[in-house]
Chain A
Amino acid sequence: MAPRNFVRTEIIPAQPPPAGTLGPLAWLRAHLFSTPANAAITILAVLFLAWTIPPLIRWAFVDAVWTGENREACVGAGACWAFVRAKFDLFMYGQYPPAQHWRVNVVGLLFVAGLVPMAIPAIPGKRWTVLYLLVVFPVAAFILLRGGMFGLTDVPTTRWGGLLVTLVVAVTGIVIAFPLGVLLALARRSRLPLIRVLATGLIEIWRGVPLVTVLFMASVMLPIFLPSGVTIDKLLRAIIGIGVFYSAYMAEVIRGGLQSIPRGQYEGAMALGLSGLQRTWLVVLPQALTISIPGIVNTIIALFKDTSLVLIIALYDLLGMIQSATNDSNWAVAQVPASGYAFAAVIYWALCFSMSRYSLFIERRRAAGRPR
């Protein structure tokens, strides 16, 4: 029994933990075999992987055909990467004239030149990078891609296709959806009832309609309402449709972030004499957007994947191009569709996965710099 009265005379130094709580074996025991049920699940999972992974590797690499001119090359049981190679330019550029592909490549380089300094926090001059990405780049990209000026041959958007269309629709869609989403989220929390009702109405309408419907309306119904003689490019209509549609989702994600900002933040800013606009811009939005990063990235990834729906209004994005290429009678062989779709999946996955990892990186960075 402990004594009733006690005064410590010496301090106990820190000691290492008991043996067997550190090291790889201890880790295995704690994480994979901690209970009989856990052990069973671990074993089943390993068996499942052993059953699925080797055939996949055999199909994608060992038995795969890498070169060939037509379907004769791909009669085996492996993937037909020869098909992807033969159609690669089509998948990237669509019907964009091959002699002009360099213009698309330059636009791609210009984009990366803005994206990299934007994405790496250590690179200074973010203000200029934003200016470049939001003003200089779009103008340059439009001139280069569309042509018809400065001696560049005119390439109508009907000839654009493949990954080019996917990225154009996704990037422009995000550039529309994000600021519009912020505005809608703020408007939905406005003190003015009219603005609030209007924002709520817009958000609920867009969220209540499937994207496919929005795209059909953009391609079929919009021209009916426009005065005759006025035509809006089909690609542009699809972009606006997707951008506005996703702004509703973006708004709800950001509204969640706004709601989590405690009242005290507004009051602290008010007491300092900051105006309503300053409170929002300097105090509330930076915090709300940081909190919303996972949701925002989630929405961006969803938007990115949903660009593949433009196929239904006869725009040929990456997936559309691949699908139409599988119909080529030169390549009418069993392995071709699977190979084409696997290629599409890998590209979509690589792009979405990097976005997801990047958002994790940013979240961790924020958390490290600003513990609460």
Chain B
Amino acid sequence: MSDTADKVVSQRSSEVAIEMAGVNKWYGAFHALRDIDLTVNRGERIVICGPSGSGKSTLIRCVNALESHQSGRIVVDGIELTHDLRRIDEVRRETGMVFQSFNLFPHLTVLENCTLAPIWVRKMPKRDAEGIAMQLLERVRIPEQAAKYPGQLSGGQQQRVAIARALCMRPKIMLFDEPTSALDPEMIKEVLDVIVDLATDGMTMVVVTHEMGFARQVADRIVFMADGQIVEVGEPEPFFTAPRHARTREFLGQVLR
């Protein structure tokens, strides 16, 4: 990491990792995010759930500016997201994202997938990047697949590579958008285990998921969304045992059977 980046970090002594205040987003005339207020502290693990189309992906994608918001404030790791491209790049360097559909690069080997961004974005020497990548591939338990292409791996293995790829950038915040929704049932656990492992390590993370067992196990707080709004935020115990909002009860009634 460069000197200037170190300086910026030291200025951000705050405990807040992500702050969203009064965030609104429209797709054309469709109001997709409505007055979102959410503060995520460093080391906190947030699970976002809610019915399909409620804006979970949109919210999480606003955090690393894959979608732009039209009003309100989003501050990530002390950097406010504006239209300034340099700030967007800076935020993306500090946040890792894992997608439902993996989005690995099929023309690169697993190892090359992991070293691409460190080499080109962090300007890391190739050898160092490969060292780190191998460490992280070991951490997600697939070092033996390093020379293969993503197409040769199972879905669960691909998703673990995607997690390792994101971690190779040494992000401060990890975003997961339904990381297990595209997986066959027998592969869900191997991916969740890796995420739990990360959570235990104190990584700040925001996870969109329908895996309620996982949510109960790792979440510090659970955010329930419906119709582009945050309907309820709470710690897992009260959230699952005594949901306060009617929409939450209805949703939990459907997913916990």
Q: Which residues of A contact B (CB under 8 A)?
A: 264-265, 267-275, 278, 282-283, 286-287, 290, 369-372
Contact = CB atoms under 8 A, between A and B. Distances in A.
B245 to A, nearest CB: 32
Given A265-B103, A271-B92, 4 more contacts: A271-B66, A275-B89, A278-B121, A372-B106
Interface of B: 64, 66, 89, 92-93, 95-97, 99, 101-107, 116-117, 120-121, 149, 151-152, 162, 165-166, 169
A261 to B, nearest CB: 10
A273 B166 CA distance: 10
B9 to A, nearest CB: 16
A371 B152 contact: yes
Contacts of B92: 270-273
Nearest to A263: B103
Nearest to B105: A283
Contacts, number: 68
B121 A273 contact: yes
Which 9 pairs between the two chains have the least Cβ-Cβ distance? A268-B103, A272-B117, A271-B97, A273-B92, A264-B103, A273-B93, A372-B151, A273-B121, A371-B151
Contacts of A286: 107
15 contacts: A267-B99, A270-B64, A270-B92, A271-B95, A271-B97, A272-B116, A273-B117, A273-B121, A274-B120, A282-B116, A283-B116, A287-B107, A370-B149, A371-B151, A372-B106
Contacts of A267: 66, 99, 103
B40 to A, nearest CB: 17
Contacts of A278: 120-121
A273 B66 contact: no
A271 B106 contact: no
Contacts of A272: 92, 96, 116-117, 121, 165-166, 169
B117 A274 contact: yes
Contacts of B165: 272
A93 to B, nearest CB: 43
A278 B104 CA distance: 16
